[in-house]
A and B are shown apart, each in its own frame.
Chain A
Amino acid sequence: MKKLSILFVLFSLTLLSCQDSNLPDKLPFIGQHQYIDGDTILYKIPSFDLINQDEESINNNSFKDHIYISDFFFTSCPSICPKVKKQMLRVYDKYENEDIIKMVSHTLDPKRDNAEILKLYSSNLGVDTKKWMFLTGDKDELRELALKYFVAVVEDEEAPGGLDHSGKIVVVDKNGHVRAFAEGTDPDDVTELMKEIDILINEYSSED
């Protein structure tokens, strides 16, 4: 009987250790920071100049009052994009009425995905483009920018759709710092990401 109770205690302990009880109250700053003369310069999304589905010009300043959640895709992508979009849609549904949150999807195939195509895509996805915008622009700029959001892109004729790329969903704060990311094809990872987004929202609301 004694052995049984020891087992029981051990079992309860393993259960406890599975629980995610140590979520931080502040998110880390992610990326390659620079250290110059003893100062830390935090990694930041570099400046960009793109256009959205309504052909309006969009740059870093467009998000200065918002946390934004970003991904990269292309509308004709037959591989991971739809799965990532399904997860982005979960995030959208959760934060639809949370004004501080914006969402941004960048195309990696601007030749095909012009503003008009992106507008049609957003309407088929059933989302409000005031909340979730779709960006296109110069192909090289978009490829470069993808890397800055930790999205790897490789042109590959063998790959479905001619492009191999990863499906990271990245959370950027009001100052352009990356604060969290998730693998957009993994629903559990995105569930965790949403907990992190809550923490970031909380960081700003406690500032007021």
Chain B
Amino acid sequence: MNTALRTSLILCFAIYFFANLMSCTDGRFKQGKVLYEYHCASCHMEDGTGLAELYPPVNGSDYLMNNREKLPYIMRYGIEGPLTVNGLEFDIPMSGIPELSAVEISNITNYILSAWTNKLGTMSFEEVMESLNSNPAGINN
């Protein structure tokens, strides 16, 4: 009986330990997550899957994978379609969010790049500034 009790106690501690560990990795881009959910999730959804052929996904999106560097720019200045994402064509204009600071954009960017199934690395603040100051080809606004 004692052994059983001891085993379950150890098990409990193990679960507790791993749960804590998980929550640590979860919180890596905490501000980015909060801002994403406030500014982006209405259309792109909390799980980044978008909506049908109305709003493109940002989770597992080939467009994002191939145009990583445009992401901060699109957040600030918006984008007009048509835009092909994962073989579907999207044509609803997205307006930019001018009230976001460069730091906030950087946090949202890094959240999106690593959230859900995305494994698109990270973007340094310099890279974010470069994007914001660029005029990426293929973006008309």
Contacts and interface: CB of A to CB of B under 8 A. Distances in A.
Interface of A: 1, 78-83, 85-86, 89, 121, 123-126
Contacts of A123: 53
What are the nearest 3 A-B pairs in CB distance? A124-B53, A125-B52, A82-B43
Interface of B: 1, 41-43, 45, 51-55, 92, 95
B99 to A, nearest CB: 12
Nearest to B1: A1
Contacts of A124: 52-54, 92
A156 B57 CA distance: 29
Contacts of A89: 51-52
B53 A125 contact: yes
Nearest to A185: B42
Residue from the set A80, A86, A89 with the largest chain B CB neighbour count within 10 Å: A86
Contacts of A80: 42
A123 B42 CA distance: 20
Nearest to B93: A76
B42 A79 contact: yes
Contacts of A78: 42-43, 95
Identify whether the interface residues of A are mostly helix, strand, loop, or mixed. Answer: helix
Given A121-B54, A124-B52, A86 B45 contact: yes
A78 B62 CA distance: 24
B45 A83 contact: yes
Given A78-B42, A78-B43, A80-B42, A86 B51 contact: yes
B88 to A, nearest CB: 9
Given A80-B42, A86-B45, A89-B51, 6 more contacts: A78-B43, A79-B42, A83-B42, A89-B52, A125-B54, A126-B53
A126 B89 CA distance: 12
B92 to A, nearest CB: 8
B9 to A, nearest CB: 12
A82 B53 contact: no
B61 to A, nearest CB: 16
Contacts of B52: 89, 124-126
Contacts of B51: 82, 85-86, 89, 125
Contacts of B45: 82-83, 86
12 contacts: A1-B1, A79-B42, A81-B42, A85-B51, A86-B51, A89-B52, A121-B54, A124-B54, A125-B51, A125-B53, A125-B54, A126-B53
